[in-house]
Every structure is written in C-alpha cells, then in structure tokens.
Amino acid sequence: MELLKEDQPYFENIKVITLMTADRFGLELKEVVPSVLPRKGKVQHFLGWCSSSGTIKISVRAVENKKWAKARNPDRDILLTVAHELAHLKYMDHGPQHTTLTKSIFNYLFYRKEPNGK
Ligand SMILES: [Zn+2]
C-alpha cells in the first residue's frame, strides 16, 4: 500500500519536524519513512516504530480491513508517536528515562517548550 496522495505533503511535514527535533535533542536519526502497516496495541506503538539503526517509521493513517481509514490520525497522537520513537534513539526500552525523554520531546513539539538546560 502506498500513502494516499493527500497524506504525502502531511507526511513530508512530519518528516521535517522529526528530523529537526532529533537535531535539537542531539539524537542520531538516520531516516524517517512512512509506515503503511496496520498495527495493534497502544497508540504510540501502532503509530510508529523505531529500529536500533536509527530508522523511524510513522503511520499517519490507520489501515482498517486492508483499506485506509477515513480520517487521518490526530496530530496530537502523531506528535506523541514522534516523541516516543525519537526517545527510542537514546533508550530502546520503556524505562523511566525513556518516559522522561518522551515527555520532554512532546512538550517541545506540542507546546513549544524548550528542553531543560538547553
Ligand atoms: Zn516504544
């Protein structure tokens, strides 16, 4: 499945935001690619994926019964996913350090709050 045409510029925007945020937080991000696979589980898990080699996949629209969902995923959920996956570039587990970094990145992305001590 390919991204819907209407989602392509949106995804490019998310990609730029993700790359710039990685730079701001000093994280080693290799690439951001769209995820077009349906996933199960918690929001931040099925909307994104991160590899130890530094690739992040972001799903901007869910797939339901092998078809694209009518509505795009909400901006807030996508930004939370970006924050969660970016934090994995430093902490691959879901420990307290990963949670703290996810919150800090999300506050930067969503509330434009500068990271502490930077
Ligand atoms: Zn995770």
Torsion region of 50: left, alpha or beta (phi above 0 gives left; psi -120 to 50 gives alpha): beta
CATH topology classification for 5-110: Zincin-like (3.30.2010)
Q: How far apart are the CA of 118 and the centre of ligand 1, in A?
A: 25
Reported as a single tens digit per residue, the pLDDT across 33-89 is: 998 766 555 544 468 888 989 999 999 988 777 788 889 999 999 999 999 999 999
The confidence score (pLDDT) of residue 44 equals 41
- Helix/strand/coil for 32: strand
Predicted pLDDT of residue 39: 57
**CA 44 to centroid of ligand 1, rounded, Å:** 7
Q: Which residue has the higher pLDDT, 39 or 14?
A: 14
The rounded Å distance from CA 57 to ligand 1 centre is: 12
Q: How confident is the model at residue 23 (pLDDT cuts 50, 70, 90)?
A: very high
Q: Say how far apart CA 37 and CA 64 lie, in whole Å.
A: 10
Distance from Cα 42 to the centre of ligand 1, integer Å: 9
Domain boundaries, the chain: 5-110
Distance 13 CA to ligand 1 centre (A): 22
pTM for the full model? 0.89
